[in-house]
Amino acid sequence: MKLITNRNKRWAKKINWQSGFTLWELLLVLFLMGVILSLAVPHFGSATKQVWNQVDLANKEKINGAAQLYRIDVGTYPLSVPDLLQPPMGVSGWRGPYLDEIPINPYNSAQSYQIDVMGQVK
């Protein structure tokens, strides 16, 4: 409680100062934060998909390049991606490894990349 007086001190008025926010003010702020977040979240979700697309494309290009090098050395395309890391049985001319590690599929880590008979990644 604060006591306010005028210059002449003839009368005094008591003012009750309360600090804080009302329930309506808090609800309004929470509502506005919810609106802003609902607008921002889909934008960040699409950014994740774009990154996954770029990683998937980079992985496929890396495997395609390694398969081309394998074909130059061996004469045929590899039957699978692990053939780019370790020499398969009965293959001559292998000068690998053509990849440092097997790339992980960003969409499904349990699913691995496959190479078709033309050396293209599926």
Supply the DSSP string of 32-44, one letter for each residue: HHHHHHHHHHHHH
Q: Supply the pLDDT for residue 14.
A: 61
Residue 5 belongs to a domain = no
Q: Supply the pLDDT for residue 35.
A: 93
What's the domain count of the chain? 1
Residue 36 belongs to a domain = no
Residue 84 belongs to a domain = yes
Residue 19 belongs to a domain = no
Residue 3 belongs to a domain = no
pLDDT in tens, the chain (122 residues): 555 555 555 555 666 667 788 899 999 999 999 999 888 887 777 778 889 999 999 999 999 999 999 999 998 999 889 999 988 888 888 887 999 999 999 988 888 899 988 888 88
Residue 26 belongs to a domain = no
Among candidate residues 91, 111, 95, the one with its CA nearest the CA of residue 103: 111
Supply the DSSP string of 69-113, one letter for each residue: HHHHHHSS--SSGGGGTSPPTT--S------SSPPPPSS-TTSPP
Residue 114 belongs to a domain = yes
Domain of residue 120: give its range. 49-122
Q: Supply the pLDDT for residue 9.
A: 55
